[in-house]
Amino acid sequence: MAYKNEIHSTFKSDNGLTIFYRHRKADPERARLVIAHGLGEHSGRYSHVIDRMVDKGISVWTPDHQGFGKSEGKRGHILRFDQYLYDLKKMIEIAKDTLPQGMKCFLLGHSMGGLMVLFFAEKFSGMIDGVVASSPGLRPAIKVPVIKGAMGKIMSSIWPGLTFDNELDSTNLTHDMDVVHAYDNDPLVHRRVSARWFTQYLSAMEETIQSAVKINVPVLMQVAGDDRIVDARASRLFFESLTANDKTLFFYDGLYHEIYNEITDHRQQVLNDLENWMDDHI
């Protein structure tokens, strides 16, 4: 679906894939923001977040990662996790094109996207003025069985493109059953991940956790207290390990994984916290 004043466009990834993205310009404009979506979903699920940001004078760009949504690539497959980061780098370069002097550009990511943006901030902090991680995928909520982990590593080497179900239970995403129903019936949502994606994701989690001290931009972490998808405790520990002078943590007791899609009252509080942090940092 295209919203009023929303522009759809594409760019080429370093590995030759066409990457789709959405852009909505704020008028008047106070800042710019790039959003990275989570596993199995796409940029179109963030229209309400984009609405709030644009209403606050923040222009937004949000791509579909390669292998997701309207972008090219085998569904749920990646050879190297940093391919996602280099796509984000290109998206940020597009977002910062003609950036007025003194205007800031921020990066926000949810779940897998939350891991991406934290990893990105460790590697390319000079490109952004702050990072927001929503329910970041720093650890799975349920420990990966030893046999499954071993098989994933073997298949990653001999059959990296082999895909399997991500085993995500959509009823653990949010308490809002209308959102769950829409997710289950969204033709752009898929449940596939590849063997190589699996091992690359595990490696990215470890490297991101170990490199937390490299982040030197303002950080906002918004964490679901009753997350059944990713481990909220890992987010707390990561936050504590940050040495950035400007860091903020909101821990929402009782909320499920998709905090921006929770039932109305909780959703408004989470979005208000995001808005207020952005206001404080623009």
Catalytic residue among 135, 227, 231, 266: 227
| DSSP SS3 for 190 | coil
Going by their DSSP bridges, the two strands 31-36 and 104-110 should be labelled as: parallel
Catalytic residue among 42, 190, 257, 266: 257
Question: Can you tell me the distance from the alpha carbon of 92 to that of 120, in angstroms, rounded to the nearest whole number?
Answer: 11
Question: Can you tell me the distance from the alpha carbon of 223 to that of 133, in angstroms, rounded to the nearest whole number?
Answer: 8
Contact 161, 246 (CB under 8 A): no
Give the residue from 76, 52, 67 showing the smallest Cα distance to 13. Answer: 67
Backbone dihedral angles phi then psi of residue 155, each to the nearest 5 degrees:
-70, -30
Backbone dihedral angles phi then psi of residue 148, each to the nearest 5 degrees:
-65, -40
Exposed e or buried b per residue across 254-281, where buried means at least 16 C-beta atoms within 10 angstroms of its C-beta: ebbbbbbbbeeebbeebbebbeebbeeb
Does the annotation mark 37 as catalytic? no
Catalytic residue among 59, 111, 134, 235: 111
Pair of tokens at residue 282: 């623009």
Does the annotation mark 111 as catalytic? yes
Could you tell me which residues come within 8 angstroms of residue 163 by beta carbon, excluding any fewer than 6 positions away? 74, 75, 76, 77, 192, 193, 194, 195
Contact 136, 235 (CB under 8 A): yes
Question: Which residue's structure tokens are 């205007």?
Answer: 103
- Catalytic residue numbers read 111, 227, 257
